[in-house]
Amino acid sequence: MTWRALLRIVDFQELLTSQAVLAESLERARARRGVDSEEARTLREGFNLLAKILFTHRASIQDVHDLAWLDHLLVGKDARPARLWAGETARNGWESLATNRGRLAELVPRRGASWAEVPVSGFGGPEPLKLERGAAGPFRVGIVTNDGILELLSELGPMESSARPGKEILGEVRRLAVEARHREREGQALVYATAVL
């Protein structure tokens, strides 16, 4: 079994309005490789996931994981920074950062589940998009919304100066958090998504 992780700035506003782009890509994939090709199947699943979330206004832990990867691989492929990890060494480093307090607990939850709200304009009214963070089955998802990025950065300062197993990971978290802060978009969040496959 392989562990993999993605840390990414996800613009949920852009992601949730990308169904037309996915539909076009799906038609091209069907024409090139056939209806049952892996590419067509992946695009169809992504299109259906977006439809479900647009209808319910909420995403479970697995849905958030899949949304982050959909954004990374298809929708915002090169538009926003991301970092990938795999293997036991990286997994142990991330596990050393798991906590129960502060904004870091929202990004790397130790246990339990909670909900984050991300405002997305034109999303059927004033109700924000609700995203579940925590662990469920082989998935772990963490989310720090745009309004929590500054607090996350202030928490990282003292942690980076200490020698700990996840120190190099903290540097990448800081880099992406600073980038998210500079972008300052209300509908975006820093998302950490892992799975054991």
Q: Give the H/E segment covering residue 46.
A: helix 38-56
* CA–CA gap between residue 75 and residue 70 (Å, rounded): 6
Name all domains of the chain by residue range, CATH numbers in brackets.
3-196 (3.40.1760)
Please write the tens of the pLDDT for every residue from 131-168: 999 999 999 999 999 999 999 999 887 776 665 667 78
Mean pLDDT of 87-93: 91
**2-6, 46-50, 65-69, 121-125: segment of lowest average pLDDT:** 121-125
| Interval 168-178: pLDDT, tens | 899 899 999 99
Distance from C-alpha of 70 to C-alpha of 57, rounded to nearest angstrom: 17
Nearest to 140 by CA among 60, 61, 73, 82: 61
Per-residue pLDDT reduced to its tens digit, 180-196:
999 878 889 999 999 98
User: Could you tell me the two tokens for 115?
Assistant: 């909900």
Q: Any idea of the CA torsion for 113, 120, 183, 75, to the nearest 10 degrees?
A: 90
Return the pLDDT at 63.
96
pLDDT at 191: 97
Q: What is the pLDDT of residue 141?
A: 97
In this predicted structure, what is the pLDDT of residue 160?
63
Which residues does residue 135 pair with via DSSP β-bridges, in sequence order? 140
C-alpha to C-alpha distance for 75 and 188, rounded to whole angstroms:
14
CA distance 46 to 66: 8
Higher pLDDT, 53 or 28: 53
For the chain, the first-to-last Cα distance in angstroms comes to 5
pLDDT band at 4 (very low <50, low <70, confident <90, very high): very high
The pLDDT of residue 75 is above 60: yes
For residues 57 and 118, what is the distance between their CA atoms, to the nearest angstrom?
A: 10
For the chain, give the percent of residues with pLDDT over 90: 48
Using an 8 Å Cβ cutoff, are 194 and 4 in contact? yes
C-alpha gyration radius of the chain? 17
CA–CA gap between residue 30 and residue 72 (Å, rounded)? 21
